[in-house]
Each structure stands twice: as C-alpha cells, then as structure tokens.
Amino acid sequence: MTSPQAAPATPADQRAARARRRKSLLTLAGVVAVGAIAWGLYDWLVASHYEHTDNAYVAGNLIQITPQTGGTVLAIGADDTDFVRAGMPLVQLDPADTRVALQQAEAALAQTVRQVRQLYANNRTLSAQVALRETDVARAEADAARMANEVQRAEADAARRGALAGQGAVSREELQHAESQLKTMRAQLAAARSGLATARAGVVAAREQLASNQALTQGVAVAEHPSVQAAAAKLREAWLASRRMQLPAPVDGYIARRSVQLGQRVAAGTPLMSLVPLAEVWVDANFKENQLRNLRIGQAAELTADLYGSQVTYHGRIAGLGVGTGAAFALLPAQNATGNWIKVVQRVPVRIALDADELRAHPLRIGLSMNVTVDTRDQGGPALAEAPRTEPLAQTRVFAELDAGADAEVARIIAAHLPR
C-alpha cells in the first residue's frame, strides 16, 4: 500500500512563505532597532552619568597598640573580636622598675632642693666674709698709717742724733741705736703695707666668691632654680613612665590580631594588638583610567556589600581621588621599558566616605568587597583636593591626662624641703 505523495508547492504558496519570512525579519529588525535606540537613549541619558566598579573594598584605620616603655605583661584586658571603649585598659605591664625609678627621682628632687637652699645660705655667709675682709683692710690701713708715723719719728730722731753726734753731744752708740730703731720701723712699715695688700686681695676674693654664688641664685626663688627645674623634669619623666605601664584604648573599636601573651617581656614599640574603629571605615574603589574623567570630589555614590547583598544600600560621597595608580605604589612597580610590553588598563583608588548612621545600622568589616556606583552628573567639585585640612584627621584625649598629678607631686616635694 503506497502513501499519497505531497502536492508540489504552487508559486502562490512560495510567495506567501517569502512574505511571511520577510515580515518576520522586518519585525525582528524593528525590535532590534528599537532595542538599540532604547539602549542608546538609556546610555546617553542615564548610564553615561554613572560610573560603576566592583573592584572596591572596605578600608579603615588599623591602630597599633604598642608600649612606650618596656616591661613584663601582667594582665591582658581584651581579646580578638572584643569591643572596647576609649580609655579602657588593654595591657598591664609590671610597674616595679618604674616605681623604683620614680622613688629615685623624688629623692633626687628633694636633695636638689636642699642643695639649692645651701647656695642661698652661702650668700649670707659670703657677705659676712666680705664684711670681715673689709674690716681687716681698715685695720691694716690703720696699722700702716701708724707705722708710717713711727718711721717718720724714727727718721727725725736718727737725723737729729746724727747732727748731735757730729758735735760730740751724742755718743756713737746712741746714734747706732737710733739708726737700728729706724731700720726696725721701716721693716714694720713694709710688713704693714704687705698686710694691707693681702687684706685688700682678701676683700677682692671674697667679693668674687659672693658674686659667683649670687650668679647661681640671683633673680629666682628656690622652686624656680634651674637645678630644681631639671630635677622636677626628671620626676615628671619618671611619673609618666610609671603611668605608661597601663596601655589604654585610644578610641572605641574592636580588637584584632592580638599577639601579646602573659609573662611576655615586651620592648618599647612592640606591636601587641590592633584596634579597629569600625564606625570610621571608608571604601577604596579602584576605577579604570577612562572612568576618572568625570569623577569629582563630593559626588554622590551608592554602594552595596556582598555581605548584605542588594537589600542594603549605602550612600556616600567621594572624599578624594588617589594621586597615583596602584601599580605605581606597588612594592615592585612595573617596568614597562621592555621589548615585551603589553598595555594594561590601570586603576586609581578613589576614597568614598560612608554615611555614619547607615554604618551603625549595618556594620562593615575591613576588606569586604563592595559594588560602587557614582553619580557623575554634578561636575562642580574639584578632581583633586585644593586646600589643606583645617582640623586633625583623627585625635584622642586618652593620653592627655597621663601627667595629671605630676605637678602636684613636684610642688609637694619642693614645699616639704623648704624652710618653714
């Protein structure tokens, strides 16, 4: 039994099929054209005003907790992932050595105060010695004047006896006695004049000693004397060292990378742990070179984190644009002056500041991946910072009170060793 053969297509059927294909192709071409026009309009009106990158990561401050003086670890106040408040003790070092140094500084200050008091007391002693030497000069002057008068009388007596001896009225022996007496008076006059010179030299020496001692004390009280001030500075230094045995948290944040252990002997500057203030993180978005032409400081940005997905959107603004590519600041920069050179599109980090309220509601961690879209319609901002900061980028008052009480301790020791 044979099947019936299909009837051959007629020219009318072929023309109808071609018409249907042409209509389908025209419809498809129209859809493609409309889609291309719609995409072009979207790119021109919307997409061209936004720059997007998924090469972005959360960054923040990693505060190293390091001791300012060496010591042995006695206590650790926080561990990794712990939240700490500013001022909370993180590490306690053994204060025995610094306590001894503080006691030595206190004793040195007390001794210096007494030594300076002795300098002031020497002024009175040396003034009395000057007055005594001046009295000796007056006595020596009187002795010299008296001996000069004695010499004059002896000279007159010897001359008179010499004239009488020529006439035979006075014996030769009496004349020799008068001449001997004159020699004695002259020798005593020379001795008196020598004593006067010695007394005057004593006055000069006493005055020099007084002036030298007054140069160490004149114009200042005991408490303001340079020696006392130097000893007081040593005491303040020992006081600070004793207070630095406890390491406080400089800001609020979370502990990370704790490496310190109990009983460990640490030196000044040794990293013990890190403190991360997650409330102050930002995003470093790495944009391609051709994306930078429209980026400006202050432009708004929307961000999403892989941690929360598209359900949580962060809002921020461009805080600054990097001054070099990542390759330029790499540990081993690329050497493009070679024969085998391949052009690689470079990326420049752009810092984006995040909204603080959104950060508190949905905390981020250092190093998380982010998707960043920047609205570039506002071109009024600068491409680079044009003025320096007028306020500190970050600051803490935790260490400002470490020397509290040092001045009171200095004043107490000085007052205790001054005359009442």
- Tens of pLDDT along the chain (420 residues) come to 455 555 565 777 677 777 777 778 888 888 888 888 777 766 665 556 789 999 999 999 999 999 999 999 999 999 999 999 999 999 999 999 999 999 999 999 999 999 888 887 787 887 787 788 778 788 878 877 888 887 787 777 777 666 666 666 666 666 677 677 778 877 877 887 787 788 788 778 877 877 776 777 777 888 888 889 999 999 999 999 999 999 999 999 999 999 999 999 999 999 999 999 999 999 999 999 888 988 999 999 999 999 999 899 999 999 999 988 887 887 777 777 666 777 888 899 999 999 999 999 999 999 999 999 999 888 888 988 888 888 888 888 888 888 888 889 999 999 988 877
Q: In degrees, to the nearest 5, what angle opens at C-alpha 381 toward C-alphas 377 and 386?
A: 160
Cα separation of 359 and 252, whole Å?
15
Residue 1 confidence (pLDDT): 45
**Number of other CB atoms surrounding residue 350 within 10 Å:** 26
pLDDT reported for residue 245: 94
What region, left, alpha or beta, does residue 168 occupy, with left being phi > 0 and alpha being psi -120 to 50 degrees? left
The amino acid that residue 9 corresponds to is A
What is the three-class DSSP state of 27? helix
Quote the distance between the C-alpha of residue 169 and its chain's center. Answer: 104
Q: Give the closest residue to 304 by CA, choosing from 289, 314, 296.
A: 314
* Residue given tokens 């509601």 in the structure block: 361
Please state, as a whole number, how many other Cβ atoms lie within 10 Å of the Cβ of residue 168: 8
- Report the C-alpha gap between 225 and 239 in whole angstroms: 21
Partner residues linked to 370 by β-bridges? 56, 305
Q: How many CA atoms lie within 13 A of 146 on its CB side?
A: 10
Q: How far apart are CA 237 and CA 248, in angstroms?
A: 19
DSSP state of 15: H
> Which residues, including other chains, have CB under 8 Å from residue 290's CB and lie 6 or more apart?
345
> Could you give all domains of the chain from N- to C-terminal order, each with its CATH number?
63-94+238-275 (2.40.50.100), 98-232 (1.10.287)
pTM: 0.71
